[in-house]
């Protein structure tokens, strides 16, 4: 399968050795499953430390005197307010004010920025925003991304790092050496736990992976990633948001700077605010396993929504799902019928995140 992929992770052989078939995501072979039990991987992230190869995310380096201007046209958040060494999660909008992608933007200092994004249209829109500007934008496919997540992540990484990561605040990042290799370490992740992302070139990321395994960090698949991110109420572009949705419809209104104007889709987004057709919610499904996704949600026999991202949390003993439903039934404790794919049951809207509702684990000092 790897021959057909346009992007190859330097960690591909390590994934196949663990049983991965290197399924395609974002043009790169991705470890959706290993031979190990994803519930054990889930436990590692919650109780100790696990790591995900997030290299299929695209890393784009933007530099030059007009970089801030270009990024401010590309995104709905005021990038000029992100200081050097900090990062921010934001929305990339279409001309019609809908979600073209989500991304994290890092200020590397000296007019250099890094955009890390998924399967949306960020690169094409960035190129459009860059026309006529003094800016360079380059996809760096050699830059890999290891996401080390869990309560023991700081202890293990700090033992092998030349900087004190305990001083790194949430959504801060720094250049560093890990196991003697140059990298950038960011206190970010997609798990609902304290964690760090390690950005390193392909020539050294394999050795970093191997040494983390030797330090008892558990390799984790995207199946386990789905479990932890759904528990934490975190969205996946293409499933929980698409170009059909505004940031307000999917709970990303916080990525829209209220006093900012002039970005792509701004007028359309302003006009759409308050006219949301759906809301993003979490469901507790009355089912003994993961539902399939795509099931219809009904209230009093009327279709009001659809299931997008399901999982079964063995730790909570709950079948969970992120879903889109009409705003009038999006409040907690609303009971819905869930029908499709041979499943006919009920689901209840619950508050999210289900895990660590105060987000204390990610934000702790």
Distances (CA, A) of 318 to 223, 311, 315: 16, 9, 8
pLDDT value at residue 3: 40
User: ∠187-142-74 over CA atoms, to 5°?
Assistant: 65
Q: Are 175 and 202 in contact (CB under 8 A)?
A: no
pLDDT value at residue 2: 37
Model pTM score: 0.96
Tell me the CATH number for domain 1-236. 3.30.1360.120
Q: Are 199 and 177 in contact (CB under 8 A)?
A: no
User: Which two tokens mark 145?
Assistant: 């991304």
The length of the chain, given as a count of residues? 365
pLDDT value at residue 4: 53
DSSP category for residue 237: B
pLDDT value at residue 6: 79
List, as one string, the DSSP characters of 289-326. Answer: S---S--EEEETTEEEEEEEEEEEETTTTEEEEEEEE-
Topology alike, domains 1-236 and 253-350:
no
Q: Per-10-residue mean pLDDT for the chain, 365 residues long?
A: 68 98 95 98 98 98 98 97 98 98 98 96 97 97 97 98 98 98 98 98 98 98 98 97 98 96 97 98 98 98 98 98 98 98 97 96 94
How is the chain split into domains, by residue range? Answer: 1-236, 253-350
Q: Residue 284 is inside which H or E element, if any?
A: strand 279-285
Give the CATH fold of the 253-350 domain. Elongation Factor Tu (Ef-tu); domain 3 (2.40.30)
Q: Are 350 and 283 in contact (CB under 8 A)?
A: yes
pLDDT value at residue 196: 98
Percent of residues in the chain assigned helix, strand, coil, to nearest 5:
25, 35, 40
Kind of pairing between the strands at 50-53 and 143-149: antiparallel
């Amino acid at each position: 399968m790897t021959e057909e992929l346009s992007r190859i992770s330097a960690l591909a052989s390590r994934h196949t050795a663990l049983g991965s078939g290197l399924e395609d995501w974002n043009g790169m072979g991705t470890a959706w499953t290993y031979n190990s039990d994803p519930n054990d991987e889930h436990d590692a992230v919650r109780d100790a430390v696990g790591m995900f190869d997030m290299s299929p995310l695209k890393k784009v380096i933007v530099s030059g005197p007009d970089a801030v201007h270009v990024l401010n046209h590309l995104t709905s958040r005021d990038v000029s307010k992100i200081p050097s060494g900090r990062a921010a999660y934001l929305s990339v909008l279409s001309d019609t004010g809908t979600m073209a992608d989500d991304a994290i933007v890092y200020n590397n200092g000296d007019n250099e920025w890094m955009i890390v994004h998924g399967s949306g249209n960020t690169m094409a829109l960035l190129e459009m925003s860059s026309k006529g500007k003094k800016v360079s934008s380059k996809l760096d496919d050699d830059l890999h991304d290891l996401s080390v997540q869990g309560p023991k992540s700081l202890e293990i990484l700090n033992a092998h790092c030349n900087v004190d990561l305990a001083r790194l605040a949430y959504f801060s990042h720094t250049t560093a050496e890990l196991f003697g290799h140059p990298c950038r370490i960011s206190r970010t992740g997609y798990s609902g736990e304290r964690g760090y992302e390690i950005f390193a070139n392909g020539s050294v990321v394999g050795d970093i992976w191997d040494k983390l395994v030797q330090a008892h960090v558990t390799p984790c698949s995207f199946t386990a990633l789905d479990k932890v991110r759904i528990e934490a109420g975190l969205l996946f572009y293409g499933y929980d948001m698409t170009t059909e949705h505004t940031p307000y419809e999917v709970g990303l209104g916080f990525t829209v700077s209220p006093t900012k104007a002039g970005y792509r889709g701004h007028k359309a987004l302003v006009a759409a605010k308050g006219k949301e057709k759906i809301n993003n919610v979490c469901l507790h499904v009355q089912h003994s396993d993961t539902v399939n996704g795509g099931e219809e949600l009904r209230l009093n026999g009327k279709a009001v929504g659809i299931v997008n991202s399901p999982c079964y949390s063995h730790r909570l003993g709950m079948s969970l799902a992120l879903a889109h439903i009409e705003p009038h039934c999006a409040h907690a404790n609303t009971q819905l019928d869930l029908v499709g794919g041979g499943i006919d049951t009920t689901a209840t809207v619950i508050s999210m995140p289900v895990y660590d509702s105060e987000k204390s684990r990610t934000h702790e000092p």
